[in-house]
């Protein structure tokens, strides 16, 4: 039987929560202070904690921080006063997975508890992320952060250049979390005409406008119970930003032509290739909406930052587009792919290789088959980095990596910790590379 800890200094609230959770078949312990909460968490195992933000001896965020620092596998949600979304955002940044606003809605409470207990069974920490492959330090960092974000219900803003895999990251967060069996609705905010935005997002009733011959669900209703991904959210007009902010804060929407609002349960993920901070400074994006969407941020690296993963990406894409009749890359084609800057990132690499498979002859891909832009070499890379026919793509990457490590070790006087800092990788990552390349650590 799942066990829940309630932390609230109001006896009536504690009793209400305990009765509601007891009817759900849960075992409940209820305390009234931060100190009592710490004591209970240290002595007993819990599957969920609910804490009020204002307590006699401190703040509920201290309970969240205790659980995080102690490494306890306990999802925690905070209960905050109506309108105090700043406290809720701070708590989610500290590690809380969601929040409830007072006055409490028992329906919202039951929904939150079901989601939280689903976290215990989802196994997100151990799931291997297959949608975003790669062994470079940057991609490994992305995979680890995605696994953590999947356990939360906090809003996530994903930044990165066009084609860098922002939607793929959002889908991975959804698929690794407790909402995986529910809808994932992706919306390109820049592709919706402004006059249709409200009906597209919130739905409409029959007769609400000319041509509305039936009730219609909006994106929020379609994503109910699951995840709503707002791609290119910076393209939303200011008038729509106001309505979106209210829907996110109140967790309710009103269809066009409807008299009543309806509750919606969605997790919001958003993305943009634009700099939202600059958009806010320029007055093109509402600051309050920015803070609601950017509770936690995830930055997707550009493809040019993942060059050591290029062989994996190229091989996987050739398999996808060519199947069992996979063509070979000539040394000159390998050289061209290594020297290219990839301004369009993964999407451009996909297009390049799909086109090359279609254009190549005799099972060999030549540089002309790639049709690369002549003005986009990779920064700091010579066009003649690989001599024709001299080595494979992996051999070339290993040689470049070995040279960079040797230079960093020489600059640091053999200090591997300092060398790792110079290379921008962790000490563990450097040791792995030394071992893989057959280089002596000493």
- pLDDT (tens digit per residue) in 202-235: 998 887 776 767 888 899 999 999 999 999 999 9
Torsion angles phi and psi, residue 62, rounded to 5:
-70, -30
The verdict on domain 3-122 having CATH code 3.40.50.1370 is: no
Torsion angle of C-alpha atoms 160, 163, 164, 169, degrees rounded to 10: 90
| More reliable by pLDDT, 227 or 176 | 227
Q: Looking at beta carbons, which pairs linking 404-413 to residues 24 or more positions away fall under 8 Å?
A: 405/430, 405/433, 405/434, 405/437, 405/439, 406/439
Dist. CA 409–CA 399, nearest whole Å: 15
Q: Would you say 405 and 416 are in contact if contact means Cβ atoms under 8 Å apart?
A: no
Question: Does 442 have pLDDT greater than 80?
Answer: no
Please count the other Cβ atoms lying within 10 Å of the Cβ belonging to residue 215: 14
58 pLDDT band, cuts 50/70/90, is very high
Residue that has been written with the tokens 């000539």 in this structure? 330
CATH fold label, 304-436: Helicase, Ruva Protein; domain 3 (1.10.8)
Dist. CA 170–CA 267, nearest whole Å: 11
Q: What is the pLDDT of residue 130?
A: 52
Q: What is the pLDDT of residue 390?
A: 46
Cα–Cα nearest to 166, from 177, 175, 156: 156
- pLDDT (tens digit per residue) in 66-125: 988 887 878 888 888 755 666 777 777 777 877 787 778 888 788 788 877 764 444 433
Dist. CA 160–CA 417, nearest whole Å: 29
Q: What is the pLDDT of residue 270?
A: 97
- pLDDT (tens digit per residue) in 6-26: 999 999 889 999 998 988 889
Q: Would you say 338 and 199 are in contact if contact means Cβ atoms under 8 Å apart?
A: no
Dist. CA 419–CA 271, nearest whole Å: 34
State the Rg of the chain over Cα: 26
Dist. CA 114–CA 77, nearest whole Å: 12
Q: What is the pLDDT of residue 289?
A: 95
Q: Would you say 266 and 124 are in contact if contact means Cβ atoms under 8 Å apart?
A: no
CATH fold match for the domains 131-301 and 304-436: no
Question: Does 166 have pLDDT greater than 80?
Answer: yes
Q: Is the peptide bond before 103 cis (omega within 30 degrees of 0)?
A: yes
Q: What is the pLDDT of residue 220?
A: 95
pTM: 0.63
Dist. CA 345–CA 256, nearest whole Å: 40
Q: Would you say 155 and 269 are in contact if contact means Cβ atoms under 8 Å apart?
A: yes
Q: What is the pLDDT of residue 226?
A: 93
Q: Would you say 39 and 65 are in contact if contact means Cβ atoms under 8 Å apart?
A: no
Annotate the chain with three-state secondary structure. CCEEEEECCCHHHHHHHHHHHHHCCCEEEEECCHHHHHHHHHHCCCCEEEEECEECCEEHHHHHHHHHHCCCCCCEEEEECCCCHHHHHHHHHHCCCEEEECCCCHHHHHHHHHHHHHHHHHCHHHCCCCCCCCCCHHHHHHHHHHHHHCCCCCCEEEECCCCCCHHHHHHHHHHCCCCCCCCEEEEEHHHCCHHHHHHHHHCECCCCCCCCCCCECCHHHHCCCCEEEEECHHHCCHHHHHHHHHHHHHCEECCECCCCCEECCCEEEEEECCCHHHHHHCCCCCHHHHHHHCCEEEECCCHHHCHHHHHHHHHHHHHHHHHHHCCEECHHHHHHHHHECCCCHHHHHHHHHHHHHHHCECCEECHHHHCCCCCCECCCCCCCCCCCCCCCHHHHHHHHHHHHHHHHHHHCCCCHHHHHHHHCCCHHHHHHHHHHCCCCCC
Domain boundaries, the chain: 3-122, 131-301, 304-436
Average pLDDT, the chain: 83
Q: What is the pLDDT of residue 215?
A: 83
CATH fold label, 131-301: Rossmann fold (3.40.50)
Q: Name which of 298-307, 330-339, 397-406 the model is least confident about.
A: 397-406
Q: What is the pLDDT of residue 298?
A: 93
Question: Does 380 have pLDDT greater than 70?
Answer: no
CA 60 to chain centre: 26
Q: Would you say 294 and 287 are in contact if contact means Cβ atoms under 8 Å apart?
A: no
């Amino acid at each position: 039987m799942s066990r829940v800890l309630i932390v609230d200094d109001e006896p009536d609230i504690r009793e209400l929560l305990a009765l509601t959770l007891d009817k759900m078949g849960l075992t409940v312990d209820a305390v009234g202070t931060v100190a009592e909460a710490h004591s209970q968490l240290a002595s007993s195992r819990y599957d969920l904690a609910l804490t009020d933000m204002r307590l006699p001896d401190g703040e509920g965020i201290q309970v969240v921080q205790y659980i995080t620092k102690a490494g306890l596998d306990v999802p925690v949600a905070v209960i905050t006063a109506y309108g105090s979304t700043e406290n809720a955002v701070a708590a989610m940044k500290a590690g809380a997975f969601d929040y409830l606003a007072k006055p409490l809605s028992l329906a919202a409470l039951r929904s939150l508890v079901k989601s939280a207990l689903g976290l215990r069974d989802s196994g997100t920490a151990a799931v291997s992320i297959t949608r975003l492959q790669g062994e470079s330090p940057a991609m490994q960092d992305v995979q680890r952060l995605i696994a953590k974000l999947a356990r939360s219900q906090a809003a996530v803003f994903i930044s990165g250049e066009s084609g860098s895999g922002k939607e793929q990251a959002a889908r991975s967060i959804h698929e690794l979390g407790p909402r995986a069996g529910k809808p994932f609705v992706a919306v390109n905010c820049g592709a919706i005409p402004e006059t249709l935005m409200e009906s597209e997002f919130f739905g409409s009733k029959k007769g609400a406008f000319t041509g509305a011959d039936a009730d219609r669900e909006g994106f929020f209703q379609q994503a109910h119970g699951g995840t709503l991904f707002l791609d290119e959210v910076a393209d939303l007009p200011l008038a729509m930003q106001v309505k979106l902010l209210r829907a996110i804060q109140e967790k309710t929407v009103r269809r066009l032509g409807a008299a009543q609002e309806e509750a919606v349960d969605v997790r919001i993920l958003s993305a943009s290739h634009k700099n939202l901070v600059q958009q806010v400074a320029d007055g093109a994006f509402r600051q309050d909406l920015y803070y609601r969407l950017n509770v936690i941020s995830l930055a997707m690296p550009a493809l040019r930052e993942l060059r050591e993963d290029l062989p994996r990406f190229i091989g996987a894409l050739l398999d996808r587009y060519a199947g069992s009749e996979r063509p070979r890359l000539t040394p000159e084609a390998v050289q061209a792919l290594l020297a290219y800057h990839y301004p369009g990132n993964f999407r451009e690499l996909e297009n390049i290789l799909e086109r090359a498979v279609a254009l190549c002859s005799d099972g060999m891909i030549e540089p002309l088959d790639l049709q690369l832009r002549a003005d986009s070499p990779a920064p700091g890379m010579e066009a003649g980095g690989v001599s024709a026919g001299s080595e494979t793509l992996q051999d070339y990457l290993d040689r470049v990596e070995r040279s960079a490590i040797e230079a960093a070790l020489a600059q640091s006087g053999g200090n591997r910790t300092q060398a790792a800092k110079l290379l921008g990788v962790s000490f563990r990552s450097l040791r792995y590379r030394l071992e893989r390349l057959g280089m002596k650590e000493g």
